């Protein structure tokens, strides 16, 4: 049973994570290390961390759809390789030992913090001039973004956005 202090810390981390997600993504750089610090095994912390990400993604999708900002046909084209990659990543994550997942999470958090500090995400604000065309290698790129998303979800949305911008 978690103590009152642990519950308060988790609530504060959730608020901070939501704030960071709203500004720049990567709210998991707060929640994932905290779950590990509180003693959850890396595989459980990684899986638990996905619940608020899924809720946030569903809310964003709902809001974008309400504002008619989603072209569902084009979204499906990218969703297919990402979905297959995600299944592959989940399978890999379930096979890997907890210590390996813990090391991967640590590396991912450090990289995410570097990206936040260096403001690499400014690239994501670039406006596209042409209609994007999916070429065969784009499907491979989005498949591996999906693998990352299934393995360790940290920054997967930013990677998808980066892939879309660079196409």
pLDDT at 14: 81
Per-residue model confidence as pLDDT tens for the chain (167 residues)? 778 988 888 888 888 887 777 666 677 778 888 888 888 888 888 888 777 777 777 787 888 889 988 888 888 888 899 999 989 998 998 898 988 888 888 888 887 777 767 665 565 555 555 556 778 888 899 999 889 888 887 777 777 877 877 77
The alpha carbon of 121 is separated from its chain's Cα centroid by a whole number of angstroms, namely 14
**Which letter does DSSP use for residue 120 in this model?**
G
pLDDT at 84: 94
Whether the Cβ atoms of residue 13 and residue 34 lie closer than 8 Å to each other: yes
Tokens coding 74 = 């084009």
d(CA 24, CA 2) in angstroms, rounded, equals: 30
pLDDT at 127: 57
Is 0.85 topped by the overall pTM?
Answer: no
pLDDT at 136: 84
From the list 11, 57, 51, the residue with the least C-alpha distance to 34 is 11
pLDDT at 88: 94
């Amino acid at each position: 049973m978690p103590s009152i202090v642990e519950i308060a810390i988790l609530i504060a981390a959730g608020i901070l994570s939501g704030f960071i997600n709203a500004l720049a993504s990567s709210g998991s750089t707060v929640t994932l290390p905290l779950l590990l610090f509180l003693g959850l095994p890396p595989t459980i912390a990684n899986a638990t961390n996905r619940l608020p990400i899924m809720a946030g993604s569903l809310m964003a999708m709902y809001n974008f759809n309400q504002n008619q900002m989603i072209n569902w046909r084009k979204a499906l084209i990218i969703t297919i390789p990402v979905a297959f990659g995600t299944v592959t990543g989940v399978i890999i994550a379930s096979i890997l030992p907890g210590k390996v997942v813990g090391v991967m999470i640590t590396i991912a958090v450090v990289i995410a913090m570097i990206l936040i500090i260096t403001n690499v995400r400014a690239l994501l604000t670039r406006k596209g001039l042409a209609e994007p065309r999916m070429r065969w290698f784009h499907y491979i790129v989005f498949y591996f973004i999906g693998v990352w998303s299934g393995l360790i979800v940290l920054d997967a949305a930013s990677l998808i956005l980066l892939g879309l911008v660079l196409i």
